[in-house]
A and B are shown apart, each in its own frame.
Chain A
Amino acid sequence: MKHLLSAADLTREDAITVLDTASQLAAATAQGVGKLPPLRGRTVVNLFYEDSTRTRTSFEAAAKRLSADVINFSAKGSSVSKGESLKDTALTLEAMGADAVVIRHHSSGAPHQLANSGWISGGVVNAGDGTHEHPTQALLDAYTLRRHLRDNTGDLAGVKVAIVGDVLHSRVARSNAILLQTLGASVRLVGPPTLLPFGVETWGCEVSYDLDSSLDDVDAVMMLRVQRERMNAAYFPSAHEYSNRYGLNSVRAARMPDHAIVMHPGPMNRGMEITADVADSPRSVIVEQVSNGVSVRMAVLYLLLGGTEGTA
């Protein structure tokens, strides 16, 4: 694996290797030995064209825990904001000797271009591109699901996950729809028809417009962030109607099986797609997703840059 651009780049075995490696790295970190040595002397660049405190920080923590040198290159306060092209920025990073570039970009496909244009020789990790994909988010979600539902081993065969909300604009939903199915889970996409992409019936997922009838057989519900501004483009009439029809509140959460967990990639709109009491309830694993994110990103960087696959 040279790059991680899409969840579709991962076979079932690749994905399990990432999750197993993440698990071993999490255990090693938990022993409190401080930084691990495998990426000493390697340079990881975080190239962020969009504000993303949590993803950037997560990658930064992951790289540092593996002893890599980290350069944060954000669109604000750099030549990027002066209109420098992606190509020139890439050539600059290449000249600085970047071993891996973690890129977040508002344009779908920008990581593909970075990886396939010949501008840089290092590995590329997609940290979210436009409305396309966010594969490390899907990996951390799979990791979280596996910990809670499959004892942290193997795949997710038989697990049923509902992904709810603005699938159309969600890179998290796209990556999860691919990866969770690769790992054997079944996925149900739930949202208003306006927020489900054209061709969604080809994704292999079940599709529903009704949240109430989509909850009583699931092992997990993943709520997607919905921007209030979407109502200005008539995707839905009002924030109030959206949360009435597609928000996860405690009445709806009560329909879920007792063991089922509630997930959210953050940042949440409390009161919009999820109420505060559900977000803070015992079945919510939202905070844990964040810490799992660091372990999973350590595994991805380790496997891309480090030594042999599968051993930590």
Chain B
Amino acid sequence: MTSYVITGGTLLGEEAADLLIEDGVISAIGSGLKGDVVVDASGCVILPGLVDLHTHLREPGREDAETVLSGSRAAAKGGFTCVHAMANTTPVADSAGVVEQVWRLGQQAGLVEVRPVGAVTMGLGGESLAELGAMADSAAHVRVFSDDGKCVYDAAIMRRALEYVKAFDGVIAQHAQEPRLTENAQMNEGVVSGKLGLAGWPAVAEEAIIARDVLLAQHVGARLHVCHLSTAGSVDIIRWAKARGINVTAEVTPHHLYFTDDVVESYNPIFKVNPPLRTAADVEAVRAGLADGTIDIVATDHAPHPSEDKDCEWSAAAFGMTGLESALSIVNATMVKSGAMTWAQVAERMSFAPARIGKVETQGQPLTVGSPANIVVFNPSIEAEVVPVNTASASRNTPYGGLTLPGQVVATFFAGRATVLEGELV
């Protein structure tokens, strides 16, 4: 196996050191190290490989939007070494058979660790539990369960799911959306929706479910994860719950850190996403929550869609935007450059913590000798324009097209193997 020396970078943006990768692990850290291939990391930060707890790979069922392979390529290009493939495929990943299929496709692609997420309820229908234990015991070793795209709206089903997965240390990742308050909702309910005449998705529809769920998690002593939290009120509820000792974790997406709902005034469906882009006050609150640890992780909610599902009128367009390749640059732009977070905190929010929540043992390990060589080399000062057609994803629905973002992934190593070198897929 080829060995690599990464030279001239700083570990977590702190300590300058070279790093030797041999036989799948970090074999030495220091200076004057020798290897087959030298990776120049001058000006770069070295981070543990990123772990995404929320990725839509679309396979099986929507291979026109993404496949496990194309999504794995996009992930590697974005510095990820592990992604959690959401369950809302066709067929739904609600059985051991489907999660094993996705897991095997991930192994075949071999670019990142693909961890399937299992559906909480059969067919995402919200009415009866899927065979959670069978998925946990399968080769896919599922630990994260989610009906993402749909909310487990029924309080009794949610309670039972939270309780049941305690048997194998699973976690329910809730898409918090009260369905009756969001019927036909198109964008954040606020001043902008009132003006544009688009049906509103009120913050309370998210907050009411989160409030209910943290209390359920407390009641049954279970672990709860909140997907793509987007409002200031949600941050307050999570902060309150953590202060009470409730075992809850939460994620925010890069796009909720970056955009406000003002961009919807263009009526460009590239900005249509669920939960919707919120107000400036919400963006400020989720940034503050991420900085102070109330929000545990950044997760992309990478949601690829073919052009025809976005090249249409707003109400007919699909919800979702891609995000794997831009995530680290967005976190750099919104959190690091402003001084709100250090690179060590970025490693915590984008690698260590998501690996802990997902119970992925080989991921999110510290940059120490003997750790699996899952590594990203990131140059935070390269400014690059986002060109949608250049994506490694099968879909081009990035909301950042035409914007110049700070930072570029120079190299990614997955289990000791280079998946990205000099900014390009190997």
Residue B13, interface by CB 8 Å: no
Residue B206, interface by CB 8 Å: no
Q: A110–B191 contact, CB under 8 A?
A: no
Chain B: CB-nearest residue to A49:
B313
Query: Most chain-B Cβ atoms within 10 A of its Cβ — which of A109, A112, A198, A202?
Result: A109
Residue A132, interface by CB 8 Å: yes
B121 to nearest A CB, angstroms?
Answer: 27
Q: A87–B311 contact, CB under 8 A?
A: yes
Residue A37, interface by CB 8 Å: no
B297-343 at interface with A (beta carbon < 8 Å): 308, 311-316
| Bound-state Cα–Cα, A106 to B316, Å | 10
Contacting residue for A108 out of B189, B190, B197, CB 8 A: B197
| Bound-state Cα–Cα, A116 to B266, Å | 9
Residue A133, interface by CB 8 Å: yes
B358-416 at interface with A (beta carbon < 8 Å): none
A202-222 at interface with B (beta carbon < 8 Å): 202-203
- In this complex, how many residues of chain A approach chain B with their Cβ under 8 Å: the count is 26
B314 to nearest A CB, angstroms?
Answer: 5
- In this complex, how many residues of chain B approach chain A with their Cβ under 8 Å: the count is 24
Q: B315–A130 contact, CB under 8 A?
A: yes
Contacting residue for B197 out of A87, A117, A171, A203, CB 8 A: A171
Q: A198–B190 contact, CB under 8 A?
A: yes
Q: B197–A132 contact, CB under 8 A?
A: yes
Q: B194–A109 contact, CB under 8 A?
A: no
Q: A109–B267 contact, CB under 8 A?
A: yes
Chain B: CB-nearest residue to A199:
B191
Q: B196–A109 contact, CB under 8 A?
A: yes
How many residue pairs between the two chains, A and B, have CB atoms under 8 Å in the bound complex?
Answer: 73
Residue B118, interface by CB 8 Å: no
Query: Most chain-A Cβ atoms within 10 A of its Cβ — which of B191, B195, B308?
Result: B195
Q: B191–A109 contact, CB under 8 A?
A: no
Residue B27, interface by CB 8 Å: no
Known contacts A132-B196, A174-B197, A198-B193: A108-B315 contact under CB 8 Å: yes
Residue A188, interface by CB 8 Å: no
Residue A131, interface by CB 8 Å: yes
| Bound-state Cα–Cα, A296 to B20, Å | 76
Contacting residue for B312 out of A87, A112, A130, CB 8 A: A87
Residue B200, interface by CB 8 Å: yes
| Bound-state Cα–Cα, A241 to B186, Å | 30
Q: B191–A131 contact, CB under 8 A?
A: no
Q: A174–B195 contact, CB under 8 A?
A: yes
B331 to nearest A CB, angstroms?
Answer: 31
Q: A199–B190 contact, CB under 8 A?
A: yes
A-contact bits for B184-204, CB 8 A (1 contact / 0 none)? 001001111111111110100
A209 to nearest B CB, angstroms?
Answer: 17
Q: A198–B200 contact, CB under 8 A?
A: yes
Residue A86, interface by CB 8 Å: yes
| Bound-state Cα–Cα, A145 to B191, Å | 28
* Complex contacts, B202 vs chain A, CB 8 Å: 198
B-contact bits for A176-205, CB 8 A (1 contact / 0 none)? 000000000000000000000111101100
Residue A250, interface by CB 8 Å: no
Residue A57, interface by CB 8 Å: no
| Bound-state Cα–Cα, A171 to B195, Å | 10
Residue A311, interface by CB 8 Å: no
Contacting residue for A109 out of B189, B190, B308, B313, CB 8 A: B313
| Bound-state Cα–Cα, A106 to B312, Å | 13
Residue A85, interface by CB 8 Å: yes
Known contacts A85-B308, A109-B267, A112-B267: A198-B314 contact under CB 8 Å: no
Q: B197–A130 contact, CB under 8 A?
A: yes
| Bound-state Cα–Cα, A171 to B196, Å | 10
B122 to nearest A CB, angstroms?
Answer: 29
Q: B313–A105 contact, CB under 8 A?
A: yes
B189 to nearest A CB, angstroms?
Answer: 5
Known contacts A85-B308, A198-B191, A202-B191: A113-B197 contact under CB 8 Å: no
| Bound-state Cα–Cα, A117 to B267, Å | 11
B-contact bits for A128-155, CB 8 A (1 contact / 0 none)? 0111110000000000000000000000
Residue A107, interface by CB 8 Å: yes
* Complex contacts, B315 vs chain A, CB 8 Å: 106-108, 130
B-contact bits for A261-299, CB 8 A (1 contact / 0 none)? 000000000000000000000000000000000000000
A117 to nearest B CB, angstroms?
Answer: 8
| Bound-state Cα–Cα, A204 to B97, Å | 58
Q: A131–B197 contact, CB under 8 A?
A: yes
Q: B314–A108 contact, CB under 8 A?
A: yes
Q: B194–A108 contact, CB under 8 A?
A: no
Chain A: CB-nearest residue to B198:
A108
Chain B: CB-nearest residue to A111:
B267
| Bound-state Cα–Cα, A131 to B267, Å | 13
| Bound-state Cα–Cα, A202 to B191, Å | 7
| Bound-state Cα–Cα, A291 to B80, Å | 64
| Bound-state Cα–Cα, A109 to B268, Å | 9
Chain B: CB-nearest residue to A167:
B194
For the complex of A and B, the 3 pairs showing the least CB-CB separation, nearest first, are: A109-B267, A132-B197, A199-B191
Pull 22 A–B residue pairs with CB atoms less than 8 Å apart, ordered by A.
A86-B312, A87-B311, A106-B315, A107-B315, A107-B316, A108-B197, A108-B267, A108-B314, A109-B198, A109-B314, A110-B314, A112-B266, A112-B267, A113-B267, A116-B266, A130-B315, A131-B199, A132-B198, A171-B197, A174-B195, A199-B194, A202-B194
| Other contacts beyond A87-B311, A198-B190, A200-B194: 20, CB < 8 A | A86-B313, A87-B312, A105-B313, A107-B314, A108-B197, A108-B267, A108-B315, A109-B267, A113-B312, A113-B313, A116-B266, A117-B311, A130-B315, A132-B197, A174-B197, A198-B189, A199-B191, A199-B192, A202-B194, A203-B195
